């Protein structure tokens, strides 16, 4: 019987996290849920779930006794601005359902991914968790509200919710969708096609990023930290919110690093509405609270992220080409 639940399991982080959890705990331990998209090649049980549907959650709550929940459902920053109320509704209703139903699962640990989008102007270039939060996107507002509900639920319902404020995530395994940091993945795919890249952010837009391997380790380290250790870092018994820092980079710096490996690569800049979103976000995340509390230490800097992304994407491309050739021969 699965005791680990992932919502939003088919998304950029979900697919990678679920594979990792299956590798560690075995396929019977994990239940993946998401909207009924393509669920082929999933390594564990899958259930189609609209995370905003309270009745579906009630059924889930009766059927399972989860010990860990990773709640990855979210409409991200850029997509959210196209329909702010819809984004609010999805992000908050899904989170309410998790909190309400988690009260049925004794001693369950819950992971809530917050974001750099929780921050807003005016900002120092590096921010820590004590920064006053003034988000300027619907997504950011829902992340701040999500953190506050986490606090409330920990305090009032005795839940154990843990939050990380995440940078943009760079990974070769999956594509992001609807975010302002998505360019930092797209650029690698374009470099490997040997085609010029048009960036929707200006060259000097520095933002915090993290490599997928570091992100997974960060999430799992946080979840493995005893509650008492986290509580000692807090002013009260409730709040468990940490910046997870990786490295910071601008499109021009990322381009220059990729160009070291692909000298013919070219870039053009055509900033759109996402520029305004990025301009309101911090340039650097201060991760010292996570470092002090549970020993967080990112391993991937810009150079390592770039070389590993290119290496991994190149070998994925080789496998795909080989599979295509074999398919054509049969």
Site for ligand SER, rule CB under 6 A: 76-77, 115-117, 139, 166, 168, 179-181
Q: Which residue lies nearest ligand SER, judged by its C-beta?
A: 179
In angstroms, the CA 244 to CA 110 distance is: 17
With b for 16 or more beta-carbon neighbours within 10 A and e for fewer, the 19-40 pattern comes to: bbbbeeeeeebbbbbbeeeeee
- Token digits for 88? 């609010």
Q: Nearer Cβ to ligand SER, position 115 or 293?
A: 115
Kindly state the smallest distance separating residue 186's Cβ from ligand SER, in Å: 12
Kindly state the smallest distance separating residue 231's Cβ from ligand SER, in Å: 26
* Catalytic (active-site) positions: 139
Residue (of 277, 75, 316) closest to 183 by Cα position: 277
How many CA atoms does the CB half-sphere of 40 hold within 13 Å?
1
Q: Nearer Cβ to ligand SER, position 21 or 116?
A: 116
Kindly state the smallest distance separating residue 7's Cβ from ligand SER, in Å: 16
Q: Given strand 4-7, what is the order of strands in its sheet?
A: 45-48, 30-34, 4-7, 68-71, 109-115, 160-166, 241-243
Kindly state the smallest distance separating residue 175's Cβ from ligand SER, in Å: 12
When computed from its CA atoms, the radius of gyration of the chain, rounded to whole angstroms, is 20
Query: Which residue has tokens 């990792």?
Result: 20
- Token digits for 21? 């959890």
């Amino acid at each position: 019987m699965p005791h680990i639940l992932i919502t939003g399991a088919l998304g950029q982080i979900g697919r990678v996290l679920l594979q990792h959890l299956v590798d560690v705990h075995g396929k019977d331990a994990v239940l993946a849920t998401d909207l009924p998209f393509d669920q082929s090649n999933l390594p564990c049980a899958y259930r189609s779930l609209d995370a905003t549907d309270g009745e579906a959650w009630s059924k889930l709550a009766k059927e399972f006794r989860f010990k860990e929940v990773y709640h990855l459902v979210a409409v991200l920053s850029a997509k959210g601005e196209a329909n702010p109320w819809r984004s609010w509704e999805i992000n908050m209703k899904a989170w309410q359902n998790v909190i309400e139903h988690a009260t049925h699962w004794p001693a369950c640990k819950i992971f809530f991914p917050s974001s750099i989008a929780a921050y807003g102007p005016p900002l120092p270039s590096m921010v820590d968790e004590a920064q006053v939060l003034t988000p300027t996107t619907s997504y950011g507002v829902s992340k701040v509200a999500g953190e506050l509900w986490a606090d409330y639920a920990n305090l009032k319902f005795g839940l154990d919710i843990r939050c990380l404020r995440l940078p943009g995530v760079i990974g070769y395994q999956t594509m992001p969708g609807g975010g302002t940091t998505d360019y930092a993945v797209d650029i690698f795919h374009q470099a490997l096609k040997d085609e010029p890249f048009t960036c929707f952010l200006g060259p000097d837009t520095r933002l915090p990023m993290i490599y997928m391997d570091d992100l997974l380790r960060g999430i799992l380290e946080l979840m493995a930290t005893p509650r008492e250790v986290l509580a000692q870092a807090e002013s009260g018994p409730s709040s468990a919110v940490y910046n997870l820092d990786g490295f910071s980079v601008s499109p021009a710096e990322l381009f220059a690093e990729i160009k070291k490996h692909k000298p013919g690569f070219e870039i053009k800049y055509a900033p759109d509405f996402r520029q305004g979103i990025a301009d309101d976000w911090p340039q650097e995340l201060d991760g010292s609270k996570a470092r002090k509390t549970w020993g967080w230490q990112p391993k991937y800097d810009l150079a390592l992220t770039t070389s590993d992304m290119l290496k991994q994407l190149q070998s994925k491309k080789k496998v795909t080409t080989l599979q295509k050739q074999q398919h054509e021969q049969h």
